[in-house]
Structure 1
Amino acid sequence: MRQKITYKNTHHFSKKELQELFLSVEWSSGHFPEKLVIAMKNFETVYSAWDGDQLVGMICAMDDGIMTAYVHYLLVHPDYQLKGIGKELVERVKTHYKDYLRIVVVAYDAELKFYEYCGFEKADDASAMFITELWT
């Protein structure tokens, strides 16, 4: 039985917790749990959602210390999606960075409506660009 979702501001996670969450949404970074543990410690801002002792969602952001913050990860376990957890995580980041000039997120087309629901606006004059396979 699900408990009330609790939210934490922590950078400390086990490899298993991160691997299970990231693989639940089919993100390839879940295959590198050791790196994820280090990444979480290095992010400026990390908020997580918990159902008891199960990690069910998280948001991670980086910032320049005064003007711009970048949401790098936002993920919610599929069993917990559409329950307000993602929106709550975004709200916590928005509150944390309320004095910044902007919060940036790179959203895939399927995610646009969610981010618009959270108050983000799609840029008409910008496109996300990636290098993902540096060592091929």
Structure 2
Amino acid sequence: MEIKYIWTKELSTENLKKLFLSVDWESGNYPQKAQKAMFNSHKVFTAWDGDALIGLMSSMTDTVLTVYFQYLVVHPDYQGYGIGKKLVDTMLEIYSDIPRKVLISVNEKVGFYEHRGFTHHVDKSPMFVSSL
């Protein structure tokens, strides 16, 4: 398996749909919106196996104080090979001068992010207004 990593926002709706639905994310049912979300992101770092999009991480930032990592997704067939680690570590390096790095994790993935240097704050709660 030879994984190629690319910085790109040019992602097809079909690739995004397949990737998001592979992890049962509702976003996969809205591939045009997902495509626009990637295009509007500050940066998108992607992982490819040939022509197949198998992972991505995106960011939004004010470029001074805070960066928010909105999406990190790796196709289940490729999990456990260090792809998520590579995506996260690269993003953390790119934004090393930004003091506040934020993401929201599902509970079962918190350990993965803790190993990448993120901490869980018991005095802070993610808040949502969402139709997804």
- TM-score, scaled to structure 2: 0.97
Indicate the residue corresponding to 2:34 in structure 1: 36
Q: How does 1:17-28 map to 2 (within 5 A)?
A: 17-28=15-26
> 1: distance between equivalents of 2:101 and 2:2?
29
Q: For residue 105 of structure 2, what is the aligned residue in structure 1?
A: 107
Corresponding residue for 2:6?
Answer: 8
Residue 89 of structure 2 aligns to a residue whose secondary structure is helix
- Structure 1 unaligned segments of length 5 or more: list them: none
| 1:88-136 residue CA offsets vs partner (Å, 9 max, x unmatched) | 00011101101011211111211110000111111121011111129xx
Structure 2 partner of 1:74? 72
1:60 to 58, 61, 68: 58
* Structure 1 match to 2:95: 97
Task: Provide the rounded CA distance (Å) in 1 between the counterparts of 2:62 and 2:23.
Answer: 29
TM-score norm. by structure 1 comes to 0.94
Report SS of the residue matched to 2:4.
Answer: strand
State the secondary structure of the residue aligned to 1:8. Answer: strand
- Number of aligned positions between the proteins: 132
- Residue identity (%): 44
| Deviant stretches of 4+, over 6 Å | none
Distance in 1 between the 2:51 and 2:3 partners?
10
* Mapped partners of 2:116, 2:89: distance in 1: 8
